Structure 1
Amino acid sequence: MATILNHEVKAATGGTEPLREHAGKVLLIVNVASKCGFTPQYAGLEALYRKYKERGFEVLGFPCNQFGAQEPGDAQEIANFCSLTYDVTFPVFAKIEVNGPRADPLWEQLKKDAPGLMGLTSVKWNFTKFLVDRNGNVVRRYAPTTKPEDIEKDIESLL
């Protein structure tokens, strides 16, 4: 079975980063946006990251503008927003698409490995979250309405 560690993702600063650099860590992968009703979840994501990063946990944020054009900024604007508004220190990558013909291959695998309700594979909105174990296997998908703190027990069980 292929793991998400086989993928490379686009860094916000250009170039690519192999996800195998995150091997051995529990990951929470999230499509994020700066102008969404769920944007305050950045604070909860950052709190989880700071609480568990020393135990091998990381949050990986992927800005996406596919839902209501709620992430219109370029990489620098997104980085400034995350830093200045929510003091985000977890990695935020280049803006991507999560659905459709130009969907990022990582997100295609996340959706396939953890379909949503009734087996639907598309991402419904910003702040959909995927929990990945230390071996790169997708464990679970969470709806945008699921608050980061409500995922904490699942994260702890994988650490």
Structure 2
Amino acid sequence: MAPIYQFTLQTAQGEDKSLADYRGKVLLLVNTATRCSLTPQYEDLQKLYAKYREQGLEILDFPCNQFREQAPENGTEYAQVCQMKFGTEFTIFNKIDVNGANTHPLYIYLKQQQPEDTGNHIFKDLLLKLASLGEAREGPDIKWNFTKFLVNREGEVVARFAPSVAPFEIETDIQKLL
């Protein structure tokens, strides 16, 4: 069994959910926030999910309040906001930490497997650094909301995309794995 399937997390509704339930699927894991300038990415994440879920794509949403406290809602409220504003149908988990002393073990693992963002955009990344106002992280740390990890059907973490990479910019990568 691939190591990613060893993790169990709590959904926004408070239920334990094993990532082993997604065995054989292509996964896109995203740390998110509802009050971020990148939050409109939810619309395209939902479109990708609707387009490819029948072929085996699952999007796993991990709210994180570590970046300028842009995800203040509790799990249930968070899921309601996303469903009402963006029509999200994919699984939203409870908030987790993706950096620091309380980093969730899943994100420790993801960062070990893919320590660097790919698909950087110089101008967009400069704007992201300005938006973070000194909170920008170095090394394998998650830089900001909407960092994306792509996992193949065997449970291997095959890519990590910078927050500035829009969901449809990785559509080809997803198609190859499906």
TM-score range, shorter chain: over 0.9
Q: TM-score, normalised by structure 1?
A: 0.96
Q: Structure 1: any 5+ residue segments left out of the alignment? A: none
Which of the two has higher C-alpha Rg? 2
Offset at residue 2 of structure 1 (A): 4.8
Indicate whether 1:31 and 2:50 are aligned: no
Offset at residue 101 of structure 1 (A): 1.1
* Displacement over 6 Å in runs of 4+: none
> Structure 1 CA distance, aligned partners of 2:22 and 2:13?
18
The answer to whether the 8 Å contact 2:2/2:154 transfers is: no
Aligned to 2:147: 128
> Structure 2 CA distance, aligned partners of 1:154 and 1:73?
32
The answer to whether the 8 Å contact 2:12/2:78 transfers is: no
Letter in structure 1 aligned against 2:21: E
Mapping of 1:1-159 within 5 angstroms? 2-116=2-116, 120-159=139-178
Offset at residue 113 of structure 1 (A): 0.2
Q: Structure 2: any 5+ residue segments left out of the alignment? A: 118-137
Letter in structure 2 aligned against 1:120: G
Cα deviation code 1:41-85 (max 9, x no counterpart): 000100000000000001000000000100001112101110110
Count of residue correspondences: 159
Aligned to 2:132: none
Q: TM-score, normalised by structure 2?
A: 0.86
Deviates more, 1:42-51 or 1:4-13: 4-13
Offset at residue 141 of structure 1 (A): 0.2
3-state SS of paired residue (1:81): helix
Percentage of pairs with the same residue: 47
Name the Cα RMSD after superposition.
1.6
Letter in structure 2 aligned against 1:115: P
Letter in structure 1 aligned against 2:54: E
